[in-house]
Structure 1
Amino acid sequence: MGISNFIDKINKFIGYLSALVCIPLTLVIVFEISMRYFFNKPTEWVYDVSWMLFAAMFLLGGAYTLQEERHVRVDIIVRVLPLKLQKTIEILFYFILFLPMTLVLAWKGFDFTLVAWRAGEMLSTTLFVFPAWATKIFIPIGFSLLFLQGIAQVIKIIRPSGEDVK
């Protein structure tokens, strides 16, 4: 198994796991709606829990979305260029913008999480208080996965016939 195939398998698995986060997210929102409208007793914790779950789902699913080429792209001009030039532009994009930015965001996200951990930082937008690192940890994980998927995408551009670096 080559490097890009290995990265693809990891991100596909994590992408599927992140999709499963939609289940508890839906359940807590339905619970809140039920409590609010049927029992007139809104919760104090669902808002915080729902944005924590959504953040995890969004950040962990990003690399899988890139793998499946589902991100929004505006490439009207690029698509009319010759294929070789399209690939060159895409590789330049990955090396000049995408890979450096995802690496910096993963690195700074790790620092961001570590500071929250060490300081015992707590978050809340309601009365429900929880440790900040528990949500912030998805930032470096998500951007690290995006960085790895960017490498896999470059390999696929360079070696489109399915061959891979071992």
Structure 2
Amino acid sequence: MQAIPDFIDGLNRVTAKLIRWLALFMVLVQFAIVVGRYVFGVNSIAVQESVLYMHATLFMLGAGYTLLVDRHVRVDVFYAKASPATQRRIDIFGHLFLLLPSMVVLLYWSWPSVRNSWRILEGPISVGGIEAVFLLKTLIPAFCILIILQSLSLLARLVFWKTR
């Protein structure tokens, strides 16, 4: 039974290992953009947009891992001083009534836009930009799915094994 949560955790760990290098690459590309523009007078809209694409990919696909390692934003007015049992109840409530419903709603409402974007293979954001907005929009459902899966994994651990 614990194999499913372990698989989901592993999926988000592998995803994080694959995308973590985007942070470094994004900084290097941004540095090259600045040097190119101010030193050599060269500019490329597509290269500038690539930083946006890398940033979006890093954060959208890395969110499930962030949830897994408990480094997400938490409003801990009550949580920090609560007992472990109360923290567990707060976590269960948060997953069931806040996180999962919001991800399902976001997935539901974003899907038509993503589907339409793929249907027309939506082009660049700016003239001369990357001709793949459909890929950028696909990050939204991918984000939702990774968060939903990780939330279910954490819920299973909280409910069945009483661990985090």
Question: What TM-score do you get using the length of structure 2 for normalisation?
Answer: 0.87
Deviations 1:25-82 (A, max 9, x none): 2332122122112212222322211101110111000000000111121213233333
Aligned position for 1:62:
63
In structure 2, runs of 5+ residues without a counterpart are none
Cα distance, 1:100 vs structure 2 = 1.4
Aligned partner of 2:90 in structure 1 is 89
Name the TM-score, length of structure 1 as normaliser: 0.86
Q: Distance in 1 between matches of 2:162 and 2:133?
A: 42
1:117 aligns with 2:127: no
How big is each residue's C-alpha offset from its partner over 1:97-143, in whole Å with a ceiling of 9 and x where there is no partner? Answer: 11111122233333321111113322323532513211111111111
Q: Report what 2:53 is aligned to.
A: 52
Q: Distance in 1 between matches of 2:43 and 2:93?
A: 51
Unaligned runs of 5+ in 1: none
Supply the RMSD in Å over aligned alpha carbons: 2.0
1:156 pairs with 2:162: no
How many percent of aligned residue pairs carry the same amino acid? 26
CA offsets per residue over residues 4-38 of structure 1, 9 Å max, x none?
A: 11110000000111212224323321221221122
- The answer on whether the counterparts of 1:109 and 1:137 sit within 8 Å (CA) in structure 2 is no
Inter-partner Cα distance in structure 1 for 2:33 and 2:156: 46
Aligned counterpart, 1:8: 9
Q: Secondary structure at the match of 1:78?
A: coil
For 1:62 and 1:134, the matched residues in 2 are separated by 18
Residues in 1 aligned to 2:26 and 2:141: alpha-carbon distance in whole angstroms: 22
